[in-house]
Structure 1
Amino acid sequence: MADQTLLIADKLLARLPYADIGQYKVHDTELKGFLVVVGKRTKTFAAEGAFWRDGAREFAARKKIGEVGEMTSREARSKAKDILAAIARGERPGERQKIKPGATTLRTAWERYRDGHLIRKGRSAKTIEGYRDHIERLFADWLDAPLARLGRQPKLVADRHDKISEENGPYMANGAMRTLRAVYNHARKTNTDLPPMNPVAAIDWNPEERRNTGMGGADMAPWFAELTALTNPIRREFHLMTLLSGSRPTALKNVRIEHIDFRSRLLHIRKPKGGAKKAFATPLSRPMIRCLLRTMRAARILHPDQAEFWLFPADSDSGHMVEHKEDRDVLSKWGNDLRQSYRTLAQAAGVSELDVHLLMNHSLPGVNAGYITRDSLLRNHLRKQQERISKVIIDGAKGKTDGRALAWLQQAKVDVLPVLPEDGLKTAA
């Protein structure tokens, strides 16, 4: 029998014939979505409607209300209104019952990734905070939804990428999707029921250009003039050390006094990007040593208590510098600008690509490079290369300046290090 549209009432239901084959539906003329499904032996009240969530139509949702004869049409109609209202709010019928305790939601997947991967592998607090911001701010409305829903509906992820790109910018959108991709892949290791295709594969990535903010030799003199004008000597030396070492600012801010080995002329970076397993030592050139000594002298005056432990102390909860950013009108280049500058100036100094990778603690390219023992090169070859890079940098201060930069850079040599031979280091008593 064909489907019908009638005013559902008890008297009508009593007269409805059972289906000869299969089943047919009787839709109510007053309440859209309220119906009776008539089979060969049963007549069942039900409610159905289009199920929409996050702007996407998922399916036609139907929920059984009860059997005709066990409840009146008025009672069934009242329950149908509640079910249809829930569907309109985006609540999938029966979903709460289907989500078992401990089921993988985005929230639980993120917490497992945070604790089992990021923290266990020693990722920095800044890195973890960046991931947390992506998940808990940009995907806040998904936190308690089943992660499998994103796997089944990758269009939701593609639409969200477009939305974040428009509201927060293309770089933020790409970064958030990399975080979501990592969390989903990690969750699949322990939940094989998740759809195998990562939903982030559905997005069209925003184009990204490598930031080109490094300085060349011609930019050194004006930058040194800006640097010399900084009134805080510790911050001034911090920026210079960032440039001379090519270090990431976060790693440099966490250097402790015990990490400096003047006898071997090495600076140990215990927790660089990638965690403690990426720890390395960078050779110290003579300008770098002067920079360290000037820093320690100023630190003992300005922050005597913190200076016992930290190379770049400050009045902060941690005891060391926390914020390294400067007003661009005061200092035009700082932070990773200086790391890029180090890379550029190393090229100008004629230092090989492989040596630059070693000095900057980059992963070595190629299979054969993996057999190079970095420590065996530190005290001789890499130190000479570091000296060459430092010379190019310090020579840049000899440009059109008023002489204050040179006076400052020579200060430690005159007052603290009367002897600095080419083949060794002798400090004043």
Structure 2
Amino acid sequence: MSSTQTSRILLTDKAVKGVPFSTAKPQIVRDSKIAGFHLWVGKSTKTFRFQYETPRINGQRGSTMVEWLGEHPHASADEARAKALEIQALRARGEAIPRGLAVVPEAGPDAAAALTFRAAWEAYKGAITKEGKSIRTIADYQDKFDRHLTAWHDRPLASIKREDVVQEHAAVTERARQARAGQKYASGKYAANGTMRFGRAVWNHAKDELETPGLPERNPFRSGKLFHKEKPRNTGMGMADLPAWSAQLQALANPVRRELHLFMLLTGLRRTDVLTARWANFDPARPSLKLPSPKGGEDRAFELPLSTAQLECLERVREAGRTYYPEESKTWIFPAPGGHVAEVKEEGRQKLSHTGHALRHSFRTLAAAAGVDRLRLKILMNHSIDDDVTDAYANVPALFSSLLQAQETVSDFVMSNLTSATLTIQR
């Protein structure tokens, strides 16, 4: 699928708005003032781009490259033009072009052969960053790219066949056994499935959004019968498990870490949300803790109502933080030397049977045992309610008092089943 061109026009927001989407081949509309600056028009997107050639090497012509400058209307024509002029200036001075934006080869007969998996990932990363995907999600994708797909980094995307994906899925799974023998990777069935889901998303973006010609109709990363069957992990504690866990908790020497684990059990928050919690987002009067960028990014930001037991936990950790980490505790609720606590796992003799996500599972289990209804529990755990039309009608901010009541119910149930639940600061 090659592209067609129109006569040059001055690319302004008004002019770009008036350019119709392409119903067949992608269309290139070139700017009348800046050579190389143009608009790529597809079936549903209009993207500002800048085309240039890399320097000659040993008399050989350089490669034709394209810098993606932003999608209209999210990026304005003036913003894209400024970026194009900046690239022109860098090239005139002989300086390298920053790789902050996705760089992909120009579309044409050989576009599919030239678009590498690396370039496709950079383009997809730029797109999901713009739409507000969380830093953790993007970092997870980058980890899968760096660890599991190294052999495909510079491989043309179009050359990756279904057979290759099947073989790589099996290879990622096998690395779990290698990890037990001291190898580098600690992967398994879930990592293999997740890696292929990542590949599927990158491929779909190249096919549907970049409209890369030459890619097959079927995604080689499709699930089909490829993925391992996944089962929910039954790692949550029931009420009978709480006394033993509480005894383990009491044995921890570090008071900040004791309160960290208890707070995770009482709130059911995800690990990163707790570790990066700041005092600036704590409102003792309401009372609540704001989570501005949880899993799912800023669009999933929410305000967590805080029960009496949770407030007492925060009071204790604030005192402990000021005692042991006076500077760090000014910012972080769970401070550590140089910043905040970075790892929830306990080592050596002071181990806990349940940490991290297992405490989130425990909160879910104990909340059900305490009789909290499903809707309020989903909101407290910041799970999506959009899939259920009836739930989606709920005005979450207006439910704050009811959510706080549910939080008190869960906390009372948990604390009543903990042995020696009142934790003291060790000095």
- 3-state SS, counterpart of residue 299 of structure 1: helix
Q: Which residue of 1 aligns with 2:193?
A: 174
Is residue 268–residue 363 contact of structure 2 (8 Å, CA) maintained in 1? yes
Distance 1:299 1:119, change over 3 A: farther
Which shows bigger deviation, 366-375 or 109-118? 109-118
- Do residues 408 (structure 1) and 416 (structure 2) align? no
Written as runs of structure 1 = structure 2, the 5 A alignment for 1:143-162 is 143-150=153-160, 153-162=161-170
Q: Deviations over 1:375-406 (max 9, x none)?
A: 1111x2111111110011101114xxxxxx34
Q: Contact 2:304 / 2:380 at 8 angstroms: preserved in 1?
A: yes
Percent of residue pairs bearing the same amino acid type: 39
Please list every run of 5 or more consecutive structure 2 residues that lacks an aligned counterpart in the other structure. 1-107, 177-187
- The residue that corresponds to 1:38 in the other structure is none
Partner of residue 117, structure 1: 128
Which AA in structure 1 matches 2:206?
A
Residue 21 (structure 1) aligns with: none
SS state of the match for residue 290, structure 2?
strand
Match of 2:138 among 108, 123, 128: 128
Q: Where do 5+ consecutive residues of structure 1 fail to align?
A: 1-96, 399-404, 412-429
Distance 2:115 2:132 in 1: 22
Residue type matched to 2:128 in 1? Answer: H
Distance, in Å, in 1 between the alignment partners of 2:170 and 2:402 is 50
Matched, 1:246 2:254: no
Aligned partner of 1:48 in structure 2 is none
Q: Alignment partner of 1:109: what SS?
A: helix
Question: SS of the residue aligned with 2:340?
Answer: coil
SS for the counterpart of 1:121 is coil
Cα offsets for 1:40-60 (capped at 9, x unmatched): xxxxxxxxxxxxxxxxxxxxx
Match of 2:39? none
1:266-287 deviation line (CA, Å, top 9, x unaligned): 1111111011111101111100
Determine helix, strand or coil for the equivalent of 1:196: coil
Residue identity matched to 1:167: R
Which residue type is aligned with residue 275 of structure 1?
Answer: G
Is 1:324 aligned with 2:334? no
Given the superposition, is the C-alpha separation of residues 352 and 328 from structure 1 closer, same or farther in structure 2, using an over 3 Å criterion?
farther
Q: State the Cα RMSD in Å.
A: 2.1
Preserved CA contact (<8 Å) 1:161 1:203: no
Residues 285, 103 of structure 1: alpha-carbon distance in 2 compared, 3 angstrom cutoff:
same
| Distance of aligned partners of 1:406 and 1:166 in 2 relative to their CA distance in 1, 3 Å threshold | closer
Q: Equivalent of 2:325, from 277, 287, 303?
A: 303
Q: 2:237·2:361 contact (CA, 8 Å) conserved in 1?
A: yes
Kindly report which structure 2 residues correspond to 1:39-54, keeping only aligned pairs within 5 A, or say none.
none
Q: Distance in 1 between matches of 2:282 and 2:242?
A: 27
Distance 1:344 1:306, change over 3 A: same
Are the structure 2 counterparts of residues 377 and 213 from structure 1 closer, same or farther at C-alpha, using a change threshold of 3 Å? same
TM-score for both structures, normalised by structure 2: 0.67
Question: How many pairs are equivalent?
Answer: 302
From the superposition, tell whether residues 349 and 101 of structure 1 become closer, same or farther in structure 2 (CA, over 3 Å).
Answer: closer
- Give the superposition deviation at 1:99: 5.1
Higher mean displacement: 139-148 or 247-256:
139-148
Would the alpha carbon gap of residues 205 and 408 (structure 1) be closer, same or farther in structure 2, given more than 3 Å must change?
Answer: same
Partner of 1:286: 308
Aligned to 1:108: 119
Which residue does 1:183 correspond to in 2? 202
| Partner in structure 2 of residue 427 of structure 1 | none
Relative distance call for 1:347 and 1:265 in structure 2 (3 A) is same
Of the three residues 337, 356, 362, the one matched with 1:341 is 362
Residues 362, 117 of structure 1: alpha-carbon distance in 2 compared, 3 angstrom cutoff:
same
Q: How much has 1:238 moved relative to structure 2?
A: 0.6
Kindly state the Cα deviation for residue 328 of structure 1 after the two structures are TM-superposed.
8.3
Aligned residue type for 2:146? E
Match of 1:353 in 2: 374
Describe how 1:201-220 pairs up with structure 2 within 5 A: 201=222, 204-220=226-242
Structure showing greater radius of gyration is 1
